[in-house]
Structure 1
Amino acid sequence: MDPVVVLAADEAFAMPLAVTVRSALENLAEGRKLQIYVLDGGIQESTKQRVERSWPAGRFVLNWLSVDEQLFAKLPVWGHVSQVAYYRLLLPKLLPEHLSRVIFLDCDLLVCGDLSELWQCDQRGFLCLAVQDCAAPYIDAMLAIENAENCCPHLGSTMPIENYQELGLNPLMPYFNSGVMVVDVDGWRRESLSQQLLDCLEENRSYIRWWDQYALNVVLADRWGMLDPRWNQGANVYNFSRWDRSYYDRETYLQVLEHPFIIHFTTKFKPWKITCIHPRRKQFFKVLDRTEWSGWRPPKFDSAHSMLEFLKTQQRRLRYASRRFLSSWSR
């Protein structure tokens, strides 16, 4: 069976959607197709046609699924994230009944590996397979990581679920990123998981961090399985200047850093923004130039705010280069 892939996007993420899927199709095994379902958050019809023309004909079957935004109207959003981030929580309700298992992908990815290999991963009885979040690898990293003193200053969060004690969660449990998941949709249906996830968000509203991930890591605690970390290389891996300043062992660190199966442009600094300093940003535009958005590049300064953001970017770029330089001398 060909891989079944689900993504969620609105008009603002139509271009990155085109790039993500284009990269997946270009690295898919010969003779395979992708069965693609896009949870549509209001993409214009002309943009949908542009997206579809961005992908090689004959390698995919595309289904657009409209989503009622009112289902998510009360859920909190801020920063660069919209309600679309929550669509994945209702996969059993939004997808056709005959789909029992899917790969869910965010739309800020570059797929470098063959998704048919991810599709063939053994579910092992878990409701979800995912990758430990390299920006927040544990429920309480200060307790879970042996070299916490060296590693924790480089994390996005040492405690992504602040009220974990009240919820009875083990602080040593890994915490996963929801941008790449292999989902047992039938299992979610049996467990009425979507309602559990929505209830979790409602009951813990004041503690929500990273939107859908909060609920997924609370409700799926002990019920998700780990994927090879190369299937979701988060941007935070580049904050670790050396393997011994990360929570990885040396071999895993080098594999994730140098040979990712999927590059995930986590954080608000997306490659299509002038503020992005991600080391693999150029790869994004190489794929972009094979889509209907070929030649597009972000405008540098369209406002005083964008100028300020650009200056902040240069400051971050200098800090990043300094860390790398100093670490090379200390080896």
Structure 2
Amino acid sequence: MDKDIIMDKNINVVLASDDNYAQHVAVVATSILDNTMVASKLRFFILNDNISEKKISLIKKTVEKFEAKIEFIDIGNDKLKNIYLSGHVSRAAYFRLMIADLVPEDVKKVIYLDVDLLVCDDIIKLWKVDIGKFPLGAVLDYGIITSSRMRKQKEKVIGLSDSYKYFNSGVLIINVKEWRLNDYGSKILAFAQKEKLLHHDQDALNKIFMNNWYEIPLRWNVIPPVFYLFTKILLNSKFRNVAVCAKAMPAIVHYAGRYKPWEFQKYSGFNDKYYLYLSNTEFSEVSMPQPSKNMHGKSICRQIIRLKIADLWLKIFVK
């Protein structure tokens, strides 16, 4: 590992948000700080897309009561013109591509996290993962690599030579020094801006870093297909055991996709931890739940049934 990275006295964590997701920044930060033995070493960088001053103040108060450090980095309105957006994805999703140009010069390594996740283990364990000279560390996306249809789509759209090597972009270890040396941010953005990519920045990252990234253990990004132990995973002997172990001991639970924890009343096993961490933030008095404008097709009952079935599978496979 690079000497500059080894000597870094801070654990640098980057989150990106607009005003709508500001509350969730505080929840993610609290989940990190509640579960670490080194809270004072945490240094948060918030890539700020017009978060209100009031919410900035609430996030700062949430983080600083743990004696951690926090800095807000404003993103200008001229950034990311003509970028392709769809569904629930906002332009904040693309900010991770600009991290190397936005964080201070002394920062050589960061952990990037989406704001629809919860950290359940000590973040220092993830920080200590040595990705060597690789520009990026990430977790395989089991939702995509266990789907033959999606693997074919990735091969067609981004030319992925090994369709079983597609990663999720919600949890990343970024070698900032390598990104700067190779101007990776500009290359990824250029590709993202010329294509209408189904998985947006994630597809662009997988295109540019094809066969040039370090695989982090699955438990550091447990997405719904793993959380619910979907049949396509259980029937795949190559991935089943790893998925079961990650489900049993998740380090990060990532609510990727349509079902967000804040959209529903508290349900044990689904979003109760979100509510727990929320209660320890300066946003604890906000009105909950907060359903999205388009709830068509969403049913919490379906998710609870999936959870119960997954728990049964867990009892069968974990002896």
- Band of TM-score, shorter chain: 0.7 to 0.9
d(CA) in 2 for partners of 1:189, 1:302? 37
Alignment pair present for 1:85 and 2:93: yes
Secondary structure class of the residue paired with 2:13: strand
Q: Which amino acid aligns with 2:178?
A: G
Shift of 1:31: 6.4
Seen in structure 2, the aligned counterparts of structure 1 residues 31 and 89 have a Cα distance that, compared at 3 Å, is closer
Residue of structure 2 equivalent to 1:28: 36
Residue of structure 2 equivalent to 1:148: none
Residue of structure 1 equivalent to 2:154: 161
Q: Which amino acid aligns with 1:186?
A: K
d(CA) in 2 for partners of 1:72, 1:275? 35
Residue of structure 2 equivalent to 1:185: 176
Residue of structure 2 equivalent to 1:220: 209
The answer on whether the counterparts of 2:63 and 2:69 sit within 8 Å (CA) in structure 1 is: no
Seen in structure 2, the aligned counterparts of structure 1 residues 121 and 51 have a Cα distance that, compared at 3 Å, is same
The answer on whether the counterparts of 2:227 and 2:247 sit within 8 Å (CA) in structure 1 is: yes
Q: Which amino acid aligns with 1:77?
A: L
Q: Equivalences for 1:126-275 in 2 at 5 Å?
A: 126-137=134-145, 141-142=147-148, 157-159=150-152, 161=154, 163-164=156-157, 168-203=159-194, 205-206=195-196, 208-241=197-230, 244-246=234-236, 249-274=239-264
Seen in structure 2, the aligned counterparts of structure 1 residues 251 and 290 have a Cα distance that, compared at 3 Å, is same
Number of residue equivalences: 308
Q: Which amino acid aligns with 2:226?
A: V
The answer on whether the counterparts of 2:142 and 2:225 sit within 8 Å (CA) in structure 1 is: yes
Match of 2:279 among 289, 296, 317: 289
Unaligned runs of 5+ in 2: 1-8
> What is the Cα-based RMSD across aligned positions, in Å?
3.0
* Greater Cα shift, 192-201 or 268-277: 268-277
Q: Which amino acid aligns with 2:204?
A: A
Alignment pair present for 1:17 and 2:25: yes
Secondary structure class of the residue paired with 2:145: coil
d(CA) in 1 for partners of 2:40, 2:19? 28
Seen in structure 2, the aligned counterparts of structure 1 residues 246 and 10 have a Cα distance that, compared at 3 Å, is farther
Deviations 1:14-53 (A, max 9, x none): 1110000001011112464201111000101111111122
TM-score (norm 2): 0.85
TM-score (norm 1): 0.82
Alignment pair present for 1:313 and 2:306: no
Seen in structure 2, the aligned counterparts of structure 1 residues 220 and 283 have a Cα distance that, compared at 3 Å, is same
d(CA) in 1 for partners of 2:129, 2:17? 26
The answer on whether the counterparts of 2:33 and 2:66 sit within 8 Å (CA) in structure 1 is: no
Secondary structure class of the residue paired with 1:64: strand
* Greater Cα shift, 194-203 or 242-251: 242-251
Q: Which amino acid aligns with 2:306?
A: Y
